[in-house]
Amino acid sequence: MKLTVWTYEGPPHVGAMRVATGMKGLHYVLHAPQGDTYADLLFTMIERRDHRPPVTYTTFQARDLGADTADLFKDACRDAWERFRPEAIIVGASCTAELIQDDPGGMAAALDLPIPVIPLDLPSYQRKENFGADETFLQIVRHLAKPMARTERISCNIIGPTGLGFRHRDDVEELTGLLFELGVAVNVVAPLGASPSDVARLGAAHFNVLLYPETGEGACRWMQRELGLPFTKTVPIGVSATRDFIREVNGLTEMDASPDEGRLRLPWYSRSVDSTYLTGKRVFIFGDGTHAAAAARIASEEMGFAVVGLGCYNREFARPIRALAKSMGLEALVTDDYLEVEAAIQEAQPELILGTQMERHIGKRLGIPCAVISAPVHVQDFPARRSPQVGFEGANVIFDTWVHPLVMGLEEHLLHMFRDDFEFRDEAGPSHHGGHAPRAMDAAPEPEPALAAAVNDNVTWLADAEKELRKIPFFVRGKARRNTEKFAVERGVSAISVETLYEAKAHYAR
Amino acid sequence: MNRPFTLSDAPAKGCREAPVLKERGQREVFCGLTGIIWLHRKMQDAFFLVVGSRTCAHLLQSAAGVMIFAEPRFGTAILEEKDLAGLADAHDELDREVERLLARRPDIRRLFLVGSCPSEVIKLDLSRAAERLTRKYAPHVAVLNYSGSGIETTFTQGEDACLESMVPVLPESPERQLLLVGALPDVVEDQALSLLSALGIETVRVLPSRRADAPLAVGEGTVFALTQPFLGETAAALERRGARRIDAPFPFGEEGTTLWLRAVAAEFGVSEERFEAVTAAPRARARLAVAAAAETLEGRSIFFFPDSQLEIPLARFLTRECGMRAIEIGAPYIHKGLVGPDLDLIEEGPLLSEGQDVDKQLDRARAARADLTVCGLGLANPLEAEGLATKWAIELVFTPVHFYEQAGDLAALFARPLRRREMLKALAPATGEAAG
C-alpha cells in the first residue's frame, strides 16, 4: 500500500483509452464498475474532444457480483458491435474487474463477432498509464499488421502519438512537414488518427519514426522484428536533436536532404545579447523520460542554463535518465511521489522549473516560475494556436515558452537596483504577468524558515542580515539564503551577519 | 406579491405517481468517492483516506480539476499486488500508512477510511480497521469508515454514506433541537442559520459540523431537515437514533426555500406574522433575481441526464419559477420518500427515468433536442458539438445554490449557456444541424 496524493499517471486502462480515443473505427469494451466513466471527461473536457471516447463500460454493481457480471460483459460487447459497427474491438478490464477474473478476452472471442477482437492484459496493480498505452498499441499492431510490399516512394510511419498527449496534434503536423522536406512520405500516423485498416498497412512503410517512446516503443520493436521496419532512436525535440534526427533519417533513406533552417529562430535568439541574462539560470527539470531528457539537452546546450535537477516519473525510463543526469554531475530523481519532487525542488531552489502541471503548482507555491514540458496534461496544454515541441518550429516554441515566465534581462537589473521603489518592488514579479505574480515572500515567509531548518537547525540569522537578505530579489533570494547557510555551517559560524552574507556571496561568485 | 404559498398552487396532478422508466445499462456518472472533493473542504479537521487503486486516485485528481493544495486533506492508499495476496498484510499496511499520515498531520481530528470498488471486492473490512484505529488514536482522532465505491454508490451518495457513518457515534441527547443535514458551502449555511435564528428557533446544529469539537448530539428531541435530496441513508440512521424528519420540498429557489422554511417553522410553532416578517424581504429579493434569469429560460425545454440526484428538485424550480418545460427528468435513483413533495409540485408530463443506459438515453435526448440538456462532463462537449446547449451538472454541487440569496444564481447557471449561445451565434456552423 502506498499513500498517494496526486498521480503523474493514471491506471493502465486509461492508457488503453488514449489509444482507442486517438484512433478511428476502433471500440473499447471495458469491464468496469460504475464510476470508471470519469475517464471520459479527460478527453471531452481537457482535450475538448467533440465526441465521446469510443468506450463501452459494463458498469457492474455490487448486486451483480458473483451473479451475472459475465453476462453483462457479453451483452455490452454485443451491443457495442451492433450500435457502433467498429472495424475492430479491444476488450479488457479495469482494476476492479481484474479482481473478479471474468476473462473479457475469452468471453468476447466466444461471441464470434465478424471483426477482430483484441484482448488486453493490463495489470492494474503493477503498471500505469504509459505502459497501458504502449501495450495496447502493441497488441493492436500484433493482431492487425502484416508483412507487405513497401510503398514505391520512400515512406515511414509516425508511431506514438495518442489521444490526450502533450502537443501530439501539433508535433505530428510539424514532423510530417519535416519528413516531406527530407523526401519521405508519411504512410500511417498511429495510433492518433489511424483506423484498424490503417494499422493493417503499417508494413508498407520503409521505416518507423518513433516519436514518443513512452507509448510506441513496444510496437516499433515488434515491427522491427516481424515486419523488418527499422525505427529512429532520436526524438527531434530541440535544435541539436532535430539535426541529429535529420542525419538519422538521411542514413535510413540513403539521401542527403537538408531542410531549410530559415524559420529556425532559437539559435539566433539564444545567441543575441539580450539573452545574456539567461546564462547559468538554474533550472530543475522533471517530466516523462523523453521530454525531460530533451529538455536537459536544450537547457544546457541551447539556452545556456545550468541544470540543477533532472528526473522523470516513469520508471521505465530510469536508466537513460540516470545516465544523463550522471553525465551532468547530478543524481537523477526517479519517483512518482509528488511530495518527493516538491522537496527536491525546494532543496535545489532553482530559478526556473521545467516540469509538468504538477510542478507548475509546486512553483506557484514556492514562488518559482515554471514552464510546462510534458504530460500529465491540463486544458492549458491544448492551446488553440499551433504549438509543437518537435522540429524547428518546436524549438522556437520552446524558446518562447521557457523565457516567458522569467523576469527579463534589464528588468532584472532594475529590480535589483531600485528594490525599494514602491511601484517596482520585487514582489510584483515579472512585469508582463499581471495576474501571476509570485507570492510576496514578506507576507508569507513560511517556506524560508523550513528551508533554513533543512540546512542546519543551529544557524540563525541576525536581524540586520535577515533585512539585507530581503533586499535581494525574490528569484535569487532562496539560493542566497541556502548558500550563505551552507557557507556558515562549513565555517562553524552559528550566527549569520551581513558580513557572512557578503563573504558567502564572494565565495560562491560565478 | 409575497402571497404565502398554499397547496392550491400545486398542480392538479403532480409527478409522484407518474410511471418511472427504469433503465439498467452503461451509466455515465461518477462514483461516491467524488464527494470527497467538497467534504474535505467542509470538514476542516478531517482527512479522507481512500483505500483503493490508482484509478481512485486518478478519479479524485481529475474530478477536482485543479490541484490547489500542496497536500490536500485526502489521499489514496493504493493497493498493490502484495495487498491483494493477503488481507492480514493489507491491514498491517493500512495501519502503517495511517500512522505515518497522522504523525505528519497532527491537525487531523477525524479520519475517514473510505472503501472503494477494489477494497469491497477483496472484502477488506474497513469497519474493523476503523475500530482498531479508533482504539489506538482516541481521543485525539476519531476513525470512521464508509464506502464510496462505484459498485455501491453513485456520485452524491458518497456524501450520504459519509454522513451516515457519523450518526451512530454521535452522543445521545434528549434536547429539543433542529438538525440541518447536508454539506453546504459555509456562506449558504450561515444564511440558513441566520434565517432560522430570526424565526426564533433556538438550538440549530449542522451535520456535518465544520470541526470535530462542535457540540453535536442526537436523540428523541431532535427533528432534522435535509438540505440535499441524496441523504436517504443518513435520514434512516438518524431516525434509528430517535430523530424525526421534517418533510418538505428542498430549499432551491424562492418557492422551495419558503416551503422548506415553512415546514420547519410549523414544527417549531413559529407564528405566521413572524414568518412573514422574516421572509418577506429575502423572498422579494429572490423573486427579483430569479425573474432576471427567467426571461431567458421562459418557455424553453429542458432534459436532465442523471447525475447529482438534484434533478427532481431542480426540475421543480425550473418549471415552476423559471417557466421551463421539462421533457425528461433522469435521476440515478428516485427516493420518493425524500423527493415526494418536489414531485407533487411538478406538473405531470415529463418522462421520469431512473438509472441509465446512456446510449439509449442519448438517442432520446437527440430526438427531443431540448433547448437545454443537463448532463455530466463526459457528455457535454459531444452534445454541444451536435448542436445542443448543455449545462454541466457538476457545477450544481460545487456552487452555492441553496436558499433565497442564491436563487437568482441558480437560475442564472441555467440561463448562461443559452445567453452565451445567443451571443456567439455568429460562430455557429454554417450548415447542418449544429447551426440550430
pLDDT tens string, chain A, 510 residues long: the values are 889 888 999 999 999 999 999 999 999 999 999 999 999 999 999 999 999 999 999 999 888 887 788 889 999 999 999 999 999 999 999 999 999 988 999 999 999 999 999 999 999 999 999 999 999 999 999 999 999 999 999 999 999 999 999 999 999 999 999 999 999 999 999 999 999 999 999 999 999 999 999 999 999 999 999 999 999 999 999 999 999 999 999 999 999 999 999 999 999 999 999 899 899 999 999 999 999 999 999 999 999 999 999 999 999 999 999 999 999 999 999 999 998 999 999 999 999 999 999 999 899 888 899 999 999 998 889 999 999 999 999 999 999 999 999 876 666 666 555 555 555 555 556 656 654 444 443 433 333 443 443 345 678 899 888 888 887 777 677 778 888 888 898 888 889 998 888 888 888 775
Q: Which of B1, B14, B32, B24 is nearest to B309 (CA)?
A: B32
Sign, Cα dihedral of B41, B43, B44, B47:
negative
Element spanning A69, H or E:
helix A69-84
Query: What parts of chain B have a pLDDT lower than 50?
Result: 1-5, 7-8, 432-436
Helix, strand, or coil here: A3? strand
The confidence score (pLDDT) of residue B435 equals 37
Q: Say what the alpha-carbon torsion angle B192, B197, B203, B206 is, to the nearest 10 degrees.
A: 10
Q: Which of B207, B85, B68, B212 is nearest to B137 (CA)?
A: B212
8 Å CB contact of B58 and A7: yes
A455 vs A457: CA distance, rounded Å: 7
Give start-end residues of each CATH 1.10.8.550 domain in chain A. 460-509
Of the residues A68, A75, A274, A464, which is catalytic?
A274
B25 contacts chain A (CB < 8 A): yes
Domain boundaries, chain B: 32-153, 177-272, 290-426
- CB nearest B150 (choices: A35, A42, A51): A35
**What distance in Å separates residue A406's CA from the closest CA in chain B?**
22
Give the angle subtended at the CA of B99 by the CAs of B96 and B101, to the nearest 5°: 110
List the single residue in A with minimal CA-CA distance to B71: A5
B11 vs A317: CA distance, rounded Å: 66
Q: Is B177-272's fold the same as B290-426's?
A: yes
B34 Cβ contact list (under 8 Å, min separation 6): A35, A38, B59, B60, B63, B148, B155, B158
A274 among known catalytic residues: yes
Which amino acid would we find at residue B240? R
Q: How far is CA A219 from CA A133, A157, B113, B206, in A?
A: 10, 11, 41, 57
Other Cβ atoms within 10 Å of B60 Cβ, number: 27
CB contact residues (below 8 A), chain B span 145-204, against chain A: 149-152, 154
Sign, Cα dihedral of A41, A43, A46, A48:
negative
* First-residue to last-residue Cα distance in chain B: 38
List the single residue in A with minimal CA-CA distance to B156: A35
The string of pLDDT tens digits covering residues B130-184 is 999 999 999 999 999 999 999 999 999 999 999 999 999 999 999 999 999 999 9
**B102, B134 contact by CB (below 8 A):** no
CATH number of B290-426: 3.40.50.1980
B395 Cβ contact list (under 8 Å, min separation 6): B413
Looking at domain B32-153, its CATH class is alpha beta
**B345, B320 contact by CB (below 8 A):** yes
**Does residue A86 have a cis peptide bond before it, meaning omega lies within 30 degrees of 0?**
no
CATH number of A266-403: 3.40.50.1980
Name chain A contacts of B59, Cβ cutoff 8 Å.
Answer: 35-36, 38
Residue B281 in grid coordinates = 424581504
Name the pTM for this structure: 0.90
Which amino acid would we find at residue B396? L
A108 Cβ contact list (under 8 Å, min separation 6): A29, A73, A74, A77, A89, A91, A117, A119
**A157, A224 contact by CB (below 8 A):** no
Name chain A contacts of B102, Cβ cutoff 8 Å.
Answer: none
Sign, Cα dihedral of A42, A45, A50, A52:
positive
Other Cβ atoms within 10 Å of B86 Cβ, number: 11
Looking at residue B220, the DSSP 8-state letter turns out to be T
Cα Rg of chain B (Å, integer): 22
Give start-end residues of each CATH 3.40.50.1980 domain in chain A. 12-129, 145-253, 266-403
The string of pLDDT tens digits covering residues B330-351 is 999 999 999 999 999 999 999 9
The confidence score (pLDDT) of residue A480 equals 83
Q: Which CATH superfamily is domain B177-272 in?
A: Nitrogenase molybdenum iron protein domain (3.40.50.1980)
B329 vs B343: CA distance, rounded Å: 11
CATH of A460-509, one of 1.10.8.550, 3.40.50.300, 1.10.3470.10, 3.40.50.720: 1.10.8.550
Q: Which CATH architecture has domain A145-253?
A: 3-Layer(aba) Sandwich (3.40)
Which amino acid would we find at residue A423? E
The confidence score (pLDDT) of residue A499 equals 87
**What distance in Å separates residue B37's CA from the closest CA in chain A?**
13
Helix, strand, or coil here: B145? strand
Question: How many Cβ pairs within 8 Å bridge chains A and B?
Answer: 179
List the single residue in B with minimal CA-CA distance to A43: B378
CATH number of A12-129: 3.40.50.1980
- CB nearest A11 (choices: B58, B75, B149): B58
* First-residue to last-residue Cα distance in chain A: 46
8 Å CB contact of B54 and A365: no
